[in-house]
Amino acid sequence: MPRIYTSLPMRTRMALLFLVLSARLLEAQWQVIEPGGQTICADGSAYKFFVYPGDAGKLLVEFEGGGACWDAATCATSIYSRRVASDPLAAGQGGLLVGIYDRANPENPFRDWTHLYVPYCTGDLHWGNRDTTYTAASGPFTVHHRGAVNAAAALSWAYENVPAPRQVFVAGCSAGGYGSILWSAHVMAHYSGASAVQLADSAAGVVPPGFFATPLSNWNAGAAWPSFIPALSLDRLDTSRLTMADFYTGVAGYYPLSAFSQFNRLADSTQVFFYILTKGALVTPEEWSAQMQASVAQVRSTSPNFFGYTAPGTEHCVINSPAVYTTEVGGVRLVDWIRTLAETRSPGSIP
């Protein structure tokens, strides 16, 4: 076959190559998988997840964002996603055609990876395993906080269909960023021989002291909690004092050969909004920013395998937008930083 191919005129060879590449593009599309079982969205609608086939040696696990709720007041509002988008190309902010989903862009670090997209529709940061009934002024209502059940179903597919990747990258923006840090602990345990990286985009977890106790209880987050990590064992952990920095320090310390990271903007308007909501009082973007930077600095001081990239601006989430290619701080483009993170697990922190 190689001799026959090379004997063809250049124009004919290029035409054949175009046909082969076109066929591969048509064959490789987002696949919709409906796991059934105990999976469900907050409003009782069916859950599904999406897979884009690629190199079986490179697995990108991405957790979708979409708000959160943790009590009657917040769960009665529309600040969180209640169902999965019907069209995979419409899932996520800005669709799945830009940012890291743009497989036609040669600068995309993940353009040839197998991409497992884990949708979010439960208000629990992908952490929950409880159907909780809240009581609002209009009466009682139930929210299916089964984010952990849904995530586990998606990961079960990956474990069966991508059994031995060389590289694993666990990511997510906003609420998906919190899903990425919790589930990275489980993913890294399963793929223990892989080069593993975690990235939370716009998910610094700045909340007032004691905040996590209520949502962890209402969501029954303990069912998916990585208690096999001694520093995060629920038998010894005081959840009323838990911070996101504690979470990162615990997971990063348990997996010293893996890399953990965050991207944040200095005045992220969505993160500021949720800080106001959790605190129950007005705060300035500067106050939130100081707390965010202190949290990142705390993890960096205790975890040499943790890296941060902080950029100016108020925008929320970057991996699902064209800005992932244009954002630059200190002469380092974000896309290059992410590529180095994926390939070497040691990109340094910016700034």
**pLDDT, tens digit, for every residue of 256-293?**
999 999 999 999 999 999 999 999 999 999 999 999 99
CA–CA distance, 208 with 14 (Å, rounded to integer): 60
Strand 167-173 relative to strand 195-201, pairing: parallel
| Mean pLDDT on 109-135 | 98
CA–CA distance, 29 with 117 (Å, rounded to integer): 13
Q: Residue 124 burial (CB < 10 Å; 0-12/13-18/19+)?
A: buried
Residue 39 has pLDDT above 70, yes or no: yes
What does the mean pLDDT of the chain come to? 92
Here the tokens at position 68 are 């959160």
Residue 225 has pLDDT above 80, yes or no: yes
Q: Can you tell me whether residue 32 is helix, strand or coil? A: strand
Residue type, 243: T
Tell me what percent of the residues of the chain surpass a pLDDT of 90.
87
Confirm whether pTM is higher than 0.85.
yes
CA–CA distance, 128 with 143 (Å, rounded to integer): 11
Preceding amide of 351 cis, omega within 30: yes
Tokens 């990258």 sit at which residue? 169
pLDDT of 86 reads: 73
pLDDT of 10 reads: 54
* Contact yes or no for 80/187 (Cβ under 8 A): no
Dihedral angle over CA of 124, 305, 285, 268, nearest 10: -60
Residues 6+ apart with CB under 8 A from 90: 96
Q: Can you tell me whether residue 73 is helix, strand or coil? A: helix
* Contact yes or no for 132/142 (Cβ under 8 A): yes
Tokens 């007032």 sit at which residue? 208
CA–CA distance, 82 with 85 (Å, rounded to integer): 10
| Mean pLDDT on 296-322 | 98
> For the segment 11-34, what is each residue's pLDDT rounded down to a tens digit?
554 444 444 443 344 346 889 999
Assign 174 a pLDDT band (cuts: 50, 70, 90). Answer: very high
- Which segments of the chain does DSSP mark as H helices, in order? 2-6, 10-27, 72-75, 147-161, 175-190, 213-219, 244-254, 269-279, 285-302, 323-326, 334-344
Here the tokens at position 95 are 């669709």
pLDDT of 17 reads: 45
Here the tokens at position 193 are 């021989």
Residues 6+ apart with CB under 8 A from 192: none
Q: Which domains does the chain have, with CATH numbers?
A: 30-344 (3.40.50.1820)
Residues 6+ apart with CB under 8 A from 183: 61, 63, 126, 151, 155, 170, 224
| Mean pLDDT on 231-246 | 94
| Mean pLDDT on 321-325 | 97
